[in-house]
Structure 1
């Protein structure tokens, strides 16, 4: 297997190369003005390890997989085209009104508690660029009013005259019957053919989101249209960069649904958060192969801290209506929580509580933390970690980024010490304690809100800063087992390399499996089977279009189910994809009941309220060869041996311990599997630092993985 995968974050570009059984990890600073430059630099470092030229590698790999934050950045920076929008006449205010509460989407808890003073986001489509067209389908897809094609042509010409660079179409009930949206697309192509210089892209809402809900479907289409040109040109430029270096195969783009596809089969909306989702995919793969059971995936990079849940049994947690920036959308995205806490998170003085505040603002890669010596003047978490003794100033990021402690001291002194009336070290300890508390609180809230006990999980700590902060986070949650996985600093890139080509199609519906009023069990088997078959075929055609053999295409079926009118919705993975009698329906109910009981406690099931299906979801996928984690065993199965002599000692400071601590330092490459080291200790590598807090033990596993255990 020869493969290149890359994950571009806000601070670092991570690269993972698989070459005939060799695994190489490399990092470079993200070049936001041209992402291909950072990609080439990171891949160039891997080339040196292999002793090969860039062209040699790219001409011989089987695939290049790409995960990016470009779409997220474009939304934050508000850089997009002028959008024209066509809606059903009478619904022109749907998007501007945003259900009368849209200005609260994307705000933190404090912001949502003060909704009257909440700042509305700048609209992606201006109200005067939204036009109604005369047409109407009812909720069953039956024609109420035919499409007035002359009216459509008039509105399209008006929008183009007003400078529309892309047209978004979101008609009422188009997910039930898309005929009118499809006809509007034909009319636009007639008015502005593709061979015209002024040809305009068009986005149809039913193709972006397959579930009901007029507002969220419309915003999904608007966000997709807003990012369309940016993503198309940026990813095309990356593909051209690959072509220039003799890579001739289609470039693969990671999706936030947990799969990937070729560039020509990718919507812009599907690329949002694709990097963190790759890490969750790698966590699921590792947990299954190593028999870890329930794991919580935590990715701490330079800009953010991403949390994902992987439950034993293969059930994925999706966000069905995730908030992207300030916009509620309707796409099935693997659930993750992102906190503004990373190595580059800026520390400031919180005057209300007279303490330190960390994030969500980040120094990013340019200028970066003050200690990078690139012009940054504000203190960050990385500056605190350096002054507390955890980082090697001369060998940070393999020596590619020399750190300047004096800059870190100056930044903390100027910003915090006078207000806090404390020393630089005391301020650094407060920064460290605050950022760890923030991440622990976010992790606890996420697990508890979904009905899980943190003690039942193994914590996976990855990203450039994950193994550096994991002990401080876990001890606040009573989690006693942490695994820093193989290639932890580029683990999301590993996940991108492990992705399967996958497309998800879903349909909203109201399907009652058990009616508690009539005590009737669902018997419309043909309806259920036809919907599943249709969704399977849509996914199959997506993969056939990308050149996948039909015999390699597999499918999985998931049902979003609930008891009666409960707000809580549980996803059940269904092994049998057709129903032909009462026994099959009862098997669906039993699977749902089992999953619900595992999540909320046995006995919490409430079939007396009725049982219904809200969404049918089919994933069509083709499996590819993956990186194997079979050498990693549960920690109890590892034979422990004594550590060698440490290579050196370093003066460190720890939260909760007074004074300096002479801390032993080991080189991770020199530690054999099975070596157990009691904290406090530092295990250094070229790409990350493993910090073993007092009260924790470090156990080396195979493939470069490392366990942290509470003593």
Structure 2
């Protein structure tokens, strides 16, 4: 008899790790654990798998019981934010050693007297004697012996990760390939080459992306090795998958640092859109409020992506879902200083966590909702305290807000102080939503607000009211929707090809050849991850811009007239004007390929015969007064 197989969909967030387990019969189980709980387990994701399978902590797990593990992780994001990646060597064309540090000479704070530049990700630079011009002419041949000596010296110093970025290397590969081979012979463990990582123009963004890949991939690799080492057997291709920033899955062996920055939030957007479509909504604002931050995204028929962005002071040129993040999560720290309320950007995280967690943490947004009665300790897991068997500490939270109220004076109560902090947090979230909607020409009032994440439902009405949104969607799995979305995602790969030529009919033959080339490469990539050729689908997109500008807009690949019309429509909506005197360029060709998905069948639910019966009633504080509310178990709620 064949043993039942499980699928695990896991989102390892900054505060909580969410686990959705699907049995062979299609039933779903969910659980949630603190991402950091060193007293009880080494890794929250593995702890969740062991918990479902009934395996003891520390015991190895048999993959015979598991068909797939799909995971999103913040390991790379945290390493980037905290600058705890691998010591990285940068090898770049001679004379360009400072170009990454100089960047675009942008000054985000124009009037700041004390200029604080972001910390560099690379620790040492080696300038390589070589130069290929823009037309492919070799101006300076590659000095392999000199390069070998420099790389060997860095290797002897202890460097094991190298980023190779040469002028025009995105188009003329030979020097980068030869240098990578030398690094491989010397023994470098991580070799990130710009024409593989980001084969596009602009050496600054291409270089930064390649450095990020070299800086983060070894950290990811160690985490993946730790996950893999917890199992008895060697995993098959496609059995352990990780979520990429682009919204698709990649086999653990193919998962790279450049693709991991938005690993967890990307799963939330996939789940958000799936839930909205099932409910009949085609325009949706995703509102994912977790323990550390709030992620918001806009959807109006297709996933929106960015191909160049800046995260944690680092420019990156890889495909990412367009997600805007603000530091306003359940763990965002509250401070009253200089006569004003402040929320974030610092977070209490999972350890020590908010004040109510009984671990000596600071006051946080979660404590606000506990003080106001929106969180009920009796209906919250009793997993706190030294023995992990105590409820949230509501009394201590009440005393702490009362202390701040006494400090403020003016007859303030603990509840009015908590509401003041809440108003600040809601404003942070509302402004984030405006940035990805109103500021880009979309009327947010025509959208449905899909709230999810552990703290999303607690703030749904206040955020919707602040924005004038009349419809709110709360999925039954809203608390773990990012993990659910990771489970619904497909194995995905994406390649880009730089074109930079006027968009006209003569170009289309070159475009067709480029699309076929990228589709073949993507198909080979997916086959190596266990996807059968018949399951693969391709989607081609053209990234267009006006000549002499930097702003690009993506359109579906079609004939030139149709693409230009779509480009002008998008440009008019976003910027309010057109520039008919400028030529339209095909800046970049993008081919996305994916396969290997599972879609949960829709379940018919019998309508409720009458109004549901509440479990209990309780009071919550809102708008300056206490109000009565009923408490329901979501498992008892039916359709209608």
Among 118, 122, 131, the residue aligned to 2:119:
122
Q: CA offset at residue 391 of structure 1?
A: 1.2
Among 322, 330, 352, the residue aligned to 2:317:
330
Partner of residue 639, structure 2: 673
Q: Write out per-residue CA displacement over residues 40-66 of structure 1, whole angstroms, 9 at most, x where no aligned residue.
A: 333355457x9xxx9898523321011
Whether the 8 Å CA contact 2:276–2:473 is kept in 1: the answer is no
Whether the 8 Å CA contact 1:140–1:176 is kept in 2: the answer is no
Partner of residue 188, structure 1: 183
Q: Write out per-residue CA displacement over residues 50-106 of structure 1, whole angstroms, 9 at most, x where no aligned residue.
A: 9xxx989852332101110001111222223322211001101112222323x74xx
Query: Equivalent residues in 2 for 1:163-312 (5 A)?
Result: 163-192=158-187, 199-241=188-230, 243-244=231-232, 250-312=239-301
Query: Equivalent residues in 2 for 1:153-168 (5 A)?
Result: 153-168=148-163
Whether the 8 Å CA contact 2:382–2:392 is kept in 1: the answer is no
Partner of residue 370, structure 1: 355
Distance 1:572 1:281 in 2: 21
CA distance 1:615–1:88, change in 2 (3 Å): same
Root mean square deviation of aligned Cα: 2.7
Whether the 8 Å CA contact 2:287–2:450 is kept in 1: the answer is yes
Whether the 8 Å CA contact 1:26–1:43 is kept in 2: the answer is no
Partner of residue 21, structure 1: 26
Distance 1:541 1:246 in 2: 22
Q: Which runs of 5+ in 2 are unaligned?
A: 384-388
Q: CA offset at residue 308 of structure 1?
A: 1.1
Distance 1:210 1:253 in 2: 23
Distance 2:593 2:248 in 1: 10
Whether the 8 Å CA contact 1:596–1:605 is kept in 2: the answer is yes
Q: CA offset at residue 118 of structure 1?
A: 3.7
Q: Does 1:537 align with 2:537?
A: no
Distance 2:8 2:522 in 1: 26
Q: Does 1:343 align with 2:330?
A: yes
Query: Equivalent residues in 2 for 1:594-613 (5 A)?
Result: 607-613=580-586
Distance 1:211 1:416 in 2: 56
Q: CA offset at residue 639 of structure 1?
A: 7.7
Whether the 8 Å CA contact 1:26–1:45 is kept in 2: the answer is no
Among 86, 95, 98, the residue aligned to 1:90:
95
Distance 1:445 1:191 in 2: 48
Whether the 8 Å CA contact 1:13–1:39 is kept in 2: the answer is yes
Partner of residue 355, structure 1: 340
Q: CA offset at residue 303 of structure 1?
A: 0.7
CA distance 1:36–1:488, change in 2 (3 Å): farther
Q: Write out per-residue CA displacement over residues 395-453 of structure 1, whole angstroms, 9 at most, x where no aligned residue.
A: 31476761011221233344564136522111111122211121011111221222111
Distance 1:369 1:557 in 2: 46
Of 475-484 and 429-438, deviating more is 429-438
Q: CA offset at residue 640 of structure 1?
A: 8.6
CA distance 1:121–1:482, change in 2 (3 Å): same
CA distance 1:185–1:73, change in 2 (3 Å): same
Distance 1:532 1:116 in 2: 49
Distance 2:62 2:601 in 1: 22
Q: CA offset at residue 614 of structure 1?
A: 1.5
Whether the 8 Å CA contact 1:349–1:416 is kept in 2: the answer is no
Whether the 8 Å CA contact 2:62–2:232 is kept in 1: the answer is no
Among 560, 563, 571, the residue aligned to 1:585:
560
Q: CA offset at residue 460 of structure 1?
A: 0.6
Q: Does 1:319 align with 2:314?
A: no
Query: Equivalent residues in 2 for 1:353-502 (5 A)?
Result: 354-376=339-361, 378-397=362-381, 402-415=391-404, 417-419=406-408, 421=410, 422-502=412-492
Q: CA offset at residue 555 of structure 1?
A: 0.7
Distance 2:637 2:280 in 1: 24
Whether the 8 Å CA contact 1:395–1:402 is kept in 2: the answer is no
Helix, strand or coil for the counterpart of 1:139? coil
